[in-house]
Structure 1
Amino acid sequence: MSEIHDLAATIQSRKGADPDSSWTAKLFAKGPEKCAEKFGEEAIEAIIEAVKGDRAKLVSEAADVIYHLLVMLTARDVTLAEVEAELARRAGTSGLEEKAARG
């Protein structure tokens, strides 16, 4: 199992846990909207580091983005497997064709 799958499993295990027991459980307790807000904040921080060109900080912020994306998905009962299935569905389709198909 890869690190991202391990992380997704850990995040899933924190859903419904005591908010005092972990940061992830605390995020879930605040609701899906707060989870989405945190994902947005981390995405903006990653964008800033990408523009600045600080590679180490970008790597760190990218890790935060992935963590908060998984928290946001889990808050809405969307699994990593579902996202992977969508990526697999798109594989072999040109990005332009795929984007046009979504309208």
Structure 2
Amino acid sequence: MSLSALAATIQSRKSADPDTSWTARLLAKGPEKCAEKFGEEAVEAIIEAVKGDRARLTAEAADALYHLLVMCAARDVTLADIEAELASRSQQSGLAEKASR
């Protein structure tokens, strides 16, 4: 599944029944809970990166990407918003962009 397809699925679940959709259940708990869940998944990805287990890192990275998009959806930040930000940053070097923040 592409990130755009995943983002579209997450968007469609915003109006789904929390009893039938994990994504809807997460979103119903609010942005703070979505952020907490993303943090948990990010830490798990970090642990697997340190351990060097490629398969586990791949699985945890997929979880982290999913939960990042859910967290953003909870605050009405779309994948298109994120892509636009990335595109604006591609006009300068990474070091120059970092220094400007």
SS where residue 92 of structure 1 aligns?
coil
1:40 equivalent in alignment to 2:23:
no
The 5-angstrom pairing of residues 65-80 of structure 1 reads: 65-80=64-79
Alpha-carbon offset, residue 92 of structure 1: 3.4
Q: Which one-letter code corresponds to 1:23 in the other structure?
A: W
Q: Distance in 2 between matches of 1:75 and 1:92?
A: 29
| More off after superposition, 31-40 vs 15-24 | 15-24
Compute the RMSD of aligned alpha carbons: 0.9
Structure 1 unaligned spans of 5+: none
The equivalent of 1:9 in structure 2 is 8
Ranges of 4+ aligned residues in structure 1 off by more than 6 Å:
none
What's the TM-score, normalizing by structure 1? 0.95
Deviations for 1:18-47, whole angstroms, at most 9, x for unmatched residues? 100110000011100000000000000000
Alpha-carbon offset, residue 10 of structure 1: 0.3
Structure 2 unaligned spans of 5+: none
What's the TM-score, normalizing by structure 2? 0.97
% identical equivalent positions: 75
Q: Distance in 2 between matches of 1:3 and 1:100?
A: 32
The equivalent of 1:24 in structure 2 is 23
